[in-house]
Structure 1
Amino acid sequence: MNKIKAPVRWLLAGLSGALLVLSFPPFALWPLAWVALCPLLLAALDCPNAKSAANLGGVTGLVFYGTSLNWMVKIFGPAAAAFWCIFALWIALHAALLWKIWNSKRTGVNTALKSFLFVAAAGVLWAGIEYFRCEVWWLECAWLAMGYSQTPALPILQTASLVGIYGLSALIISANAALCLLIKERRAVPALLLVLLLSILGLWGRHRTGTLPIEQIRKLSVALVQDESFNLESLAKFSLRPEAKNADLLIWPEYSFTVQPDQEDKYLALLSKSLKGSRAVKMIGAGVFPEDEKSKTRMRDYAWFISPEGKTLGFYDKLHPIPYVEKRFRSSNKNLIANHSPAYVATPAGNLGPQICYDLDFENGSRKMAEQGAQILVSNSLDPAVWGKWQHLQHSAMSPARAVESGLWLVRAASSGSSQIIDPLGKIRAALPPEGSGLLTGTAYLTAPGTFYSRYGWLFARLCLLAAMAAVLIYWRPFRK
């Protein structure tokens, strides 16, 4: 392949960013993810040094994140640009590492071996960096992890039951790398092997979606309230509709009901009175808010589980506070304290595995629920309408992955959408459109929890992280030259 001129390299990097934007909601053109990084990789490998490759990766990241995460401006204002730049740095790092691997003497002169190493390294390093970016460091944010682009493709999504969303990300990036080498070096074998692997996984996934028993143990009628009024009368009105009143499980969105500390009995009586006649087990999104930072009261975001008879069944506090929103660098009583011991709540409706809003963006909470014996995942979320449709659709697209990874049904009530009922195959059985109020009712099932991923496959992302850290250590000195 002829050398690519510098202006064309920049255009290819921008093209990759645009293709990534189209791969995710609201466009959700998921097949594009399998080729989206190829233009960047072609341009990066043609660079004179790792720094130039990193710059191209940064351009791809800025186009991708700056466009897809445009809604962050509504939360952080101009500071949203800083978040886009931070996210873009991870793609820059990946591009630089791949340049070093391709041009390193350590990979030897065997072209075939070098090609296989490059394709494998592309996926493994991406998964390791992505896992660190999404779940390990302080600014944890799993938004737009590559594997989430495949949630509409149910046969392929079943791979998440083996290696999780990060394993799926690794496959996508390796496929991009194989296509890059096919174009650049005319090396067809890595691409053919990837096509064979993906065909096998796709056929297995199709078989799984048609044969896996997912309607087991017990049928559960659910009612999910989608409402952002924070008004008890409005929430109760939805909850006492006949189809909700007679449900087995009723869920309100996150932060729906404000509670004063140490006055749970008072508020429990108020809820029981407002929901009189409901036969459902209730999951109430509750919150405690300090008046100011001098107050001894501490902010709390929790799910309150109440029996049909009006008795408290248990509480669940949020596992993952949102950086810069619910946790900040400086100490404050307005910082949420993360729940480091999440556990399911035993109720007459079954063993419920709670996940509050941001918790569902991470693999560890739902996995721990499956390990402990939860029979269904129950989630509530505050997705303010003002954040816009892009935010709502991107957030909702992450939920099916948690159902597939855990092997459990998932029901999610979001303040302004999209509220969902999802089966263990990741299929959305019912949903309400975003940016509106309403009541979603339907059927879910209690099932026996657990998949290969929840038992063993979750280790894949950790191993990829170790590989990425090793690669950075090996090539750090050359980066500085």
Structure 2
Amino acid sequence: MKLKHPLLAAFSGLLLAASFAPFGRGELAWIALAPLFYAVLESGGAAAAARLGALTGAVFYSLSLAWMTTVVHYLAIVFWGVFALWLALHAALVRGLWDLAEERGGGNLRALAWAAASGVIWAGIEYFRSELWPLACPWLGLGYSQTYTLPVFQSLSVWGVYGLSAFMAAANAAWALGPRKLRLPAAVFLGALLVITSWGSRRLRTLPAENGKPIKVALVQAERSDINKLAGFSLTPAAAAADLLVWPECSVMMPAADSPAYAALIAAKLKTSRAETVVGVCVDANKTLGVKRANFTLVLGRDKKTIGVYNKMRPVQFVETGLPANKAPAPVQTPLGKLGPQICYDLAFEDGARKMAGLGAQLLVVPTLDPVEWSERQHRQHSDMSAARAAETGLWLVRAASSGYSQVIDRLGRTRAELETGKEGALVAEAWLGGGGTFYTRAGWLFAPFSFVFALGAAALLAWKAARRKN
């Protein structure tokens, strides 16, 4: 392996890190993988390619997920290593496919097919590590780097964040073929990028973000506060006049899920508020008393009587041990409309918001617990995923985070109002409650599982070819 190959792989890791918070240079993601792919094609084979991919991953994740050292301490190295292995696997697979293409004569058309396959395999691996396996973690999916590139971000309404990840990885693979004088792939993907950008720009100009009916929302941002402080933020003149009030995840700790006295206390404290209210409630397990762990939203009507409950879909691994997952998420019908709750980590995954939209939700409501101890990088990386769910579903989204960022995001993925980290209070802003649903929620979401099956097929094909060579 030439020295320039690991240098190129490390450079890719640096460019990927710069594409996400806190740097937020999303445009760099469009070239970030090209040095790695070039080095992979120049390397000595699949094993060497895997080492290069691992190096890129090690640089990228150790920089972007540096905050993990404050959460799991030395175990952060293990997590970085696991993330890096996915890039190693991708590099080995695409190098194996390149060798197959070369055996069949190469050329521009096979190079174009290889670039497209590289993108699909990237999405398949990203989908598996983000959504399917026991340690699923969607953090830093490639498509999320485009949160602030709004014209391109509109494509999430068609193929979702995994489709965008696939296209970006494929484009990077196409750029890497330029030095080999294989120019067709780059021309095709550059043309496709121009078309997507043009379409997205037109969509932003012509599709009204304001659909349905306007409502005033009040999103309380406060952590480890007693109920009196939370109520105080909720009863300021602007917040008390809101149509919908949202408290963060775990704002109230109850002794059991069925605690009418606590619900009555909340109702009494908020009696003068005219808003329907969504309260984040948590319950610690108590084996002695037979109490099970719970994490849910309590939905109260304007009269502060309970009209619905939503339980968390996605317990955080190692943090919410013993919390049962909600296997059948459903919107909560209120006089205001059909609310689609998602609790914190739920929103990092694509399926919850999509299912809510499919069931007729008119607004995504997201109580969130982002601890004040988190770094600015961690806060921003987490909140940056929220816009993807709005763009994918075509629904407005309101997010009440314990220490920020609390947000109001329109159905095109644009942040309309935000309360920064480190501040307490109520973010009062306008949101729209209306019908959602996009091509993505109807059919486009199938691209991600298809990509996973494609990646499995590619791995099986290469394993079969390798076995035949040995025999």
Tell me which residue corresponds to 1:450: 437
In the TM superposition, residue 345 of structure 1 has moved relative to its aligned partner by: 0.4
Query: Any conservation in 2 of the 1:161–1:405 contact (CA below 8 Å)?
Result: yes
- Given candidates 265, 273, 276, the residue that maps to 1:281 is 276
* Distance in 1 separating the partners of 2:204 and 2:258: 47
* Distance in 2 separating the partners of 1:22 and 1:114: 32
Structure 1, residues 394-430: CA drift from partner, whole Å, max 9, x if none?
A: 0111011100000000000001110000001000001
- Given candidates 306, 316, 325, the residue that maps to 2:319 is 325
Tell me which residue corresponds to 2:459: 472
Query: Any conservation in 2 of the 1:389–1:435 contact (CA below 8 Å)?
Result: no
Structure 1, residues 249-308: CA drift from partner, whole Å, max 9, x if none?
A: 0000101101121542101110011112001010000000024x5652111111110112
* Distance in 1 separating the partners of 2:232 and 2:29: 43
* Distance in 1 separating the partners of 2:452 and 2:466: 19
Q: Write the letter of the residue equivalent to 1:403.
A: A
Tell me which residue corresponds to 2:150: 154
- Given candidates 304, 315, 324, the residue that maps to 2:309 is 315
Structure 1, residues 91-136: CA drift from partner, whole Å, max 9, x if none?
A: 0000000110111268610412220121111100000000001001
- Given candidates 397, 408, 415, the residue that maps to 1:410 is 397
Structure 1, residues 431-470: CA drift from partner, whole Å, max 9, x if none?
A: 0112332211100001211000000100011111100011
Tell me which residue corresponds to 2:215: 220
* Distance in 2 separating the partners of 1:243 and 1:379: 20
Instruction: Look up the SS of the partner of 2:3 in the other structure.
Output: helix
Instruction: Look up the SS of the partner of 1:302 in the other structure.
Output: strand
Task: Verify: 1:271 aligned to 2:270, yes or no.
Answer: no
Task: Verify: 1:344 aligned to 2:331, yes or no.
Answer: yes
Alignment TM-score, normalising by the size of structure 2? 0.97
Task: Verify: 1:174 aligned to 2:170, yes or no.
Answer: yes
Tell me which residue corresponds to 1:233: 228
Tell me which residue corresponds to 1:14: 10
In the TM superposition, residue 52 of structure 1 has moved relative to its aligned partner by: 0.9
Q: Share of identical aligned residues, percent?
A: 47
- Given candidates 203, 206, 224, the residue that maps to 1:208 is 203
Tell me which residue corresponds to 1:68: 64
* Distance in 2 separating the partners of 1:151 and 1:188: 29
* Distance in 2 separating the partners of 1:17 and 1:398: 21
Which shows bigger deviation, 416-425 or 107-116?
107-116
- Given candidates 335, 339, 355, the residue that maps to 2:342 is 355
Query: Any conservation in 2 of the 1:90–1:129 contact (CA below 8 Å)?
Result: yes
What is the correspondence of 1:177-188 to structure 2 with a 5 Å cutoff?
177-183=173-179, 185-188=180-183
Q: Rate the CA distance shift 1:248–1:96 in 2: closer, same or farther, 3 A.
A: same
* Distance in 1 separating the partners of 2:257 and 2:239: 30
Instruction: Look up the SS of the partner of 2:327 in the other structure.
Output: coil
* Distance in 2 separating the partners of 1:432 and 1:118: 44
* Distance in 1 separating the partners of 2:205 and 2:253: 44
In the TM superposition, residue 73 of structure 1 has moved relative to its aligned partner by: 1.4
Tell me which residue corresponds to 1:461: 448
Tell me which residue corresponds to 2:355: 368
**Structure 1 vs Structure 2 CA RMSD:** 1.4
Task: Verify: 1:260 aligned to 2:247, yes or no.
Answer: no
Query: Any conservation in 1 of the 2:257–2:294 contact (CA below 8 Å)?
Result: no
* Distance in 2 separating the partners of 1:377 and 1:351: 9
Tell me which residue corresponds to 1:125: 121
In the TM superposition, residue 325 of structure 1 has moved relative to its aligned partner by: 1.3
Number of residue pairs the alignment of both structures matches: 468
* Distance in 1 separating the partners of 2:259 and 2:103: 63
Unmatched segments (≥5 aa) in structure 2: none
Q: Write the letter of the residue equivalent to 1:121.
A: A
Query: Any conservation in 2 of the 1:128–1:464 contact (CA below 8 Å)?
Result: yes
Tell me which residue corresponds to 1:331: none
Q: Write the letter of the residue equivalent to 1:100.
A: G
Tell me which residue corresponds to 2:54: 58
Alignment TM-score, normalising by the size of structure 1? 0.95
Query: Any conservation in 2 of the 1:382–1:415 contact (CA below 8 Å)?
Result: yes
* Distance in 2 separating the partners of 1:107 and 1:264: 68
Tell me which residue corresponds to 1:398: 385
Q: Which runs of 4+ in 1 moved over 3 A?
A: 477-481
* Distance in 1 separating the partners of 2:108 and 2:144: 31
Q: Write the letter of the residue equivalent to 2:456.
A: M
* Distance in 2 separating the partners of 1:364 and 1:37: 27
In the TM superposition, residue 479 of structure 1 has moved relative to its aligned partner by: 6.6
* Distance in 2 separating the partners of 1:259 and 1:105: 61
Q: Write the letter of the residue equivalent to 1:305.
A: V
* Distance in 1 separating the partners of 2:207 and 2:233: 34
- Given candidates 224, 238, 260, the residue that maps to 1:243 is 238
* Distance in 2 separating the partners of 1:103 and 1:116: 14
Query: Any conservation in 1 of the 2:101–2:111 contact (CA below 8 Å)?
Result: no
Tell me which residue corresponds to 1:81: 77
Q: Write the letter of the residue equivalent to 2:273.
A: S
In the TM superposition, residue 230 of structure 1 has moved relative to its aligned partner by: 3.2
Unmatched segments (≥5 aa) in structure 1: 328-334
Query: Any conservation in 1 of the 2:347–2:386 contact (CA below 8 Å)?
Result: yes
* Distance in 1 separating the partners of 2:306 and 2:190: 53
In the TM superposition, residue 151 of structure 1 has moved relative to its aligned partner by: 0.6
Which shows bigger deviation, 103-112 or 438-447?
103-112
